């Protein structure tokens, strides 16, 4: 992949944006020119480019209801803001499909890497962090793509100054390993699972939930090309891990690890571990692998019912924690937003456990359930809300009438739904010094919604219906 030009643009208030950084690559431009011949189109100057981009992204002219260039109903999945007619990978006569150009995926990786670099941890998006990162960018580009053809990504940590010079050994140092670790060997492996759910409380519509996990590693071990093996294991009756994706530093894979897929019909005889991942770790923390899993039940099953009674809304909620899930939360909160109504006036609602708050804006009930469900593993909320506030609350086109939802936010340390775990003793490190090995697990929720069963909930996945 070769870049003809690179711009870093940040949006500003209203319909403005500014170019924070721009760089052109003259030799790549020359190649484009020679390849394109008479159909050559030069890269426009900064201002002109910015204007075209804003129009394409629909960030300018919001006052006009219909702008053909922006709002035409023709489906244009690959429409560029500026068509330069020619890529430096293909001759000008062609406009090949994107999937045949390696540059496209490389470009995606490069841009994602650049974004990670610019928004590195500790720097807020528009704060000083970004400014200092932008100041570093010219020297970073000199390292990763002096002439527009990157072979590596900007390192998200500090600048690529090797932490220690490498000795001339026989083993070659991987290009993605920026230096050597000296000091105590520590290997840290943490499994984090995320559960998503859509519950409708409705017979005609099946509830949905899914679980996906990531295994993050930080390995501080000595050696030019150290060898580490992490093994994931499941409980005896656990359902197999599916859709496994691995980090490029994994040296080899058993084909059975890749067989289970979420889009396949589940096969009882499928391989269910242990899953071995031999790899040579980079210096920085990384995601060793990710997977999805099909678990038989959602961790919290809820029901939500709203009834319109004259000017009041009758609310009734039941949440049940499944018995297989550890009853020990870091936090657990239920949020009940109300849209397209006036602000809440009188709130006469009782909860069987936990604490209830009305948000400052008076359009949201926050039910903090604390660290534990009661012994019965069930909590309820019952009561009436009068929307007699003076000002109208927020609007949301999805939630009109009785279409409403509860969103659950929770985190359970030291557990996974799939049962997947990394045993401390299963982590093998081939090195002289015996490393300290730390493993951990956690489960948290994302997009965990329970829809009001008396309203019409939007379809959130077609797969289950068909």
Partner 1 sequence: MASGWVERVSAFCGSPSRFLCGTSSEVFLAELLRELRDDRANYNVKVLLLSPLCEYPALLCPSDSVGEETALELMSIFAQSPPKFVHFRSQLLVALTCVLTCSPDASSRLRAFPDFLDLLLQLAQDTSDLHGDAAQRSLRATACDCLREMEVLYPGLLSQRLELLGALRHQETSRLHQAYAGLQTLVLRNVVYLLTGEKEAGAVHLKALLGGNESVGWEADQNLGAASGKNSTPLSSVILTPMGTIPTLHTGPDCKELRSVLSSLLEESYLFTPLSQAERLYRLTEVVAMVPAIPPTIFRAQLLRLLGTSEVSLLHTTLLMKSAFTDSLFSSEDEAFLLKRLVVLSQHPLLSAPEKLFYMDCILHFPENRPISCGDSDEALPVLLTPRLASALLPVVFNDSATLLARFNLLSLVYLEAGEEEDGRGLEYLYDHLTSLLRIVESGGKRESIVTLFRAAFLFLFHFHHVERYCDNLSQQLCQLYLQHTRFAPHLINLANQTQEKLPDSPWAFGLLKALQRVISQTPLSQVTRHDLSWHLKVLTRAAEEGEMSQHATLRFLSGVITPSSLSWSADWRLGNGILGVCRRLLVHPSLDSILIPLADVLQHLAGHYGDTDIRDHARLYYTLLTTLSREKLATVLAHHAEGGQQVKKRTLSCLMTEGEGLTSILTIHETEAAIFRLIETHWEQPEAEDLIQDETERGEADLETYRAQFGDAAFASQVTLKFLLTHTETRDARFDQLFSIRLHFSLTDDHYSELQDLSVPCLFRERPPPVVALTLKPKQPYPTSLHVSAIFTTQDGLTWHTTLPDIHVCFQQIFLPLPAPSSWGRTGRQAVFAGLWEEISGETEECASSLFCCRLEEEALSALVEKHFLPFLVSDPAHKDQFRVLLFLPPQSHVLLKISSEEDAVHFNIATDSWQLLPHINDYLLEITAS
φ, ψ of residue 290 to 5 degrees: the values are -135, 160
- State the binding string over 242-281 for partner 1 (x if CB under 8 A, else -): -xxxxxx-xxxx-x-xx--xxxx-----------------
Residue number with CB closer to partner 1 (277 or 329):
277
> C-beta of 389: minimal distance to partner 1 in Å?
20
Q: 3-state SS of 317-329? A: EEEEECCCCCCCC
In the set 289, 321, 336, 404, which binds partner 1 (CB under 8 A)? 289
User: Would you tell me how many other CB atoms lie within 10 Å of the CB of residue 127?
Assistant: 10
Instruction: Specify the stretch interacting with partner 1 by CB under 8 A; choose among 68-76, 122-130, 293-301, 304-312.
Output: 68-76
Considering the complex, what minimum distance in angstroms separates the CB of residue 223 from partner 1? 13
Q: Where do runs of H (alpha helix) occur along 145-239?
A: none
| Residue closer to partner 1 (CB basis): 72 or 357 | 72
Question: How many residues sit close enough to partner 1 to count as binding (CB under 8 A)?
Answer: 118
409 forms beta bridges with 333
User: Least distance in Å: CB of 463 to partner 1?
Assistant: 5
Q: What is the 3 state secondary structure string of 146-169?
A: CCCCCCCCCCCCCCCCCCCCCCCC
Q: Which is nearer to partner 1, 177 or 367 (CB)?
A: 177
DSSP string covering 39-77, please?
G--PPPPHHHHHHHHHHHTT-S-TTSS--HHHH-SS--T
Q: Which is nearer to partner 1, 115 or 424 (CB)?
A: 115
Least Å from the CB of residue 148 to partner 1: 8
User: Which residues, numbered 353-392, are part of the site for partner 1 (CB under 8 A)?
Assistant: none
First and final C-alpha spacing in the chain: 42
3-state SS class at 390: coil
Of 18, 206, 376, 395, the one binding partner 1 (CB under 8 A) is 395
Contacts of partner 1 in 113-172 (CB under 8 A): 138-139, 142-143, 146-147, 149-153, 161-162, 165-166, 168-172
In the complex with partner 1, the residue whose CB is nearer, 97 or 236, is: 97
Contact at 8 Å (CB) between 183 and 289?
no
Between 433 and 464, CB nearer to partner 1: 464
Of 82, 108, 297, 433, which one interacts with partner 1 (CB under 8 A)?
108
Which CB, 82 or 245, lies closer to partner 1? Answer: 245
Distances (CA, A) of 87 to 1, 10, 95, 156: 10, 25, 9, 28
Q: State which residue, 170 or 391, has the beta carbon closest to partner 1.
A: 170
- Whichever of 199 and 437 has its CB closer to partner 1, that residue is 199
In the complex, the smallest distance separating the C-beta of residue 25 from partner 1, rounded to whole angstroms, is 8
Q: Are 233 and 427 in contact (CB under 8 A)?
A: no
C-alpha gyration radius of the chain: 27
With contact defined as beta carbons under 8 Å apart, do 102 and 89 qualify?
Answer: yes
DSSP SS3 for 180: coil
Within 204-243, which residues bind partner 1 (CB under 8 A)? 210, 212, 214, 224-225, 243
Q: How far is the CB of 331 from partner 1 (least distance, A)?
A: 22
Considering only 15, 45, 83, 308, the residue that binds partner 1 (CB under 8 A) is: 45
Given 11, 12, 39, 105, the residue binding partner 1 (CB under 8 A): 105
Of 436, 441, 403, 405, which is closest to residue 421 (Cα–Cα)? Answer: 441
Q: Is the dihedral of CA 85, 89, 93, 95 positive or negative?
A: negative
91 part of the interface to partner 1, by CB under 8 A? yes
Cβ distance to partner 1 smaller for residue 19 or 347? 19
Min dist. Cβ of residue 189 to partner 1 (A): 17
Within residues 9-38, the interface with partner 1 by CB under 8 A covers: 19, 22-27, 30-31, 34-35
Site for partner 1 in 298-337 (CB under 8 A): none
Chosen residue from 100, 311, 324, 388 binding partner 1 by CB under 8 A: 100
Are 215 and 422 in contact by the 8 Å Cβ rule? The answer is: yes
The beta strands (E) that lie in 200-295 are given as 208-220, 227-233, 242-246, 275-279, 286-293
Return the residue of 13, 14, 47, 182 that touches partner 1, per CB under 8 A. 47
Two structure tokens written together for 381? 């909320």
Distance, in Å, from the CA atom of 430 to the CA atom of 281, rounded to the nearest integer, reads 12
Q: Which of 81, 102, 131, 266 binds partner 1 (CB under 8 A)?
A: 102
């Amino acid at each position: 992949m070769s870049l003809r030009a690179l711009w870093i643009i940040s949006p500003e208030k209203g319909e403005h944006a500014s170019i924070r950084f721009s760089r052109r690559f003259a030799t790549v431009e020359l190649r484009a020119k020679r390849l394109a011949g008479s159909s050559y189109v030069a890269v426009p100057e900064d201002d002109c480019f910015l204007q075209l981009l804003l129009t394409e992204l629909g960030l300018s002219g919001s006052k006009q209801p219909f702008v053909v260039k922006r709002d035409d109903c023709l489906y244009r999945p690959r429409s560029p803001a500026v068509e330069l007619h020619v890529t430096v990978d293909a001759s000008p006569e062609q406009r090949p499909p994107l999937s045949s150009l390696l540059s496209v995926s490389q470009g995606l990786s490069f841009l994602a890497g650049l974004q990670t670099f610019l928004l590195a941890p500790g720097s807020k998006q528009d704060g000083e962090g970004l400014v200092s990162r932008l100041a570093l960018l010219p020297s970073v580009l000199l390292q990763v793509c002096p002439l527009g053809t990157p072979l590596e990504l900007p390192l998200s940590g500090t600048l690529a100054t090797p932490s220690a010079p490498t000795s001339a050994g026989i083993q070659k140092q991987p290009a993605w390993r920026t230096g050597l670790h000296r000091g105590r060997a520590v290997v840290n492996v943490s499994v984090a699972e995320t559960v998503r759910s859509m519950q409708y409380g409705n017979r005609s519509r099946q509830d949905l939930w899914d679980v996906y996990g990531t295994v993050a590693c930080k390995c501080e071990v000595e050696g030019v090309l150290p060898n580490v093996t992490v093994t994931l294991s499941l409980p005896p009756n656990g359902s197999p891990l599916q859709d496994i994706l691995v980090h490029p530093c994994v040296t080899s894979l058993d084909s059975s690890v890749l067989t289970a897929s979420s889009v396949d019909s589940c096969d009882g005889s499928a391989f269910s571990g242990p899953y071995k991942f031999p790899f040579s770790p980079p210096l920085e923390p990384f995601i060793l692998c990710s997977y999805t899993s099909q678990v038989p039940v959602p961790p919290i099953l809820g029901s939500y019912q709203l009834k319109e009674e004259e000017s009041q809304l009758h609310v009734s909620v039941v949440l049940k924690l499944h018995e297989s899930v550890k009853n020990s939360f870091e936090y657990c909160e239920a949020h009940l937003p109300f849209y397209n109504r006036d602000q809440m006036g009188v709130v006469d609602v009782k909860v069987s456990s936990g604490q209830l708050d009305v948000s400052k804006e008076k359009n949201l009930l926050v039910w903090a359930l604390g660290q534990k469900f009661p012994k019965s593993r069930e909590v309820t909320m019952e009561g009436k809300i009068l929307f007699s506030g003076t000002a109208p609350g927020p609007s949301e086109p999805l939630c009109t009438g009785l279409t409403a939802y509860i969103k659950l936010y929770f985190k359970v340390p030291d557990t996974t739904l799939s049962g997947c775990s990394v045993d401390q003793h299963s982590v093998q490190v081939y090195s002289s010094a015996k490393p300290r090995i730390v493993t951990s697990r956690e489960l948290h929720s994302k997009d965990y919604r329970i829809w009001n069963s008396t309203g019409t909930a939007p379809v959130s996945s077609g797969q289950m219906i068909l």
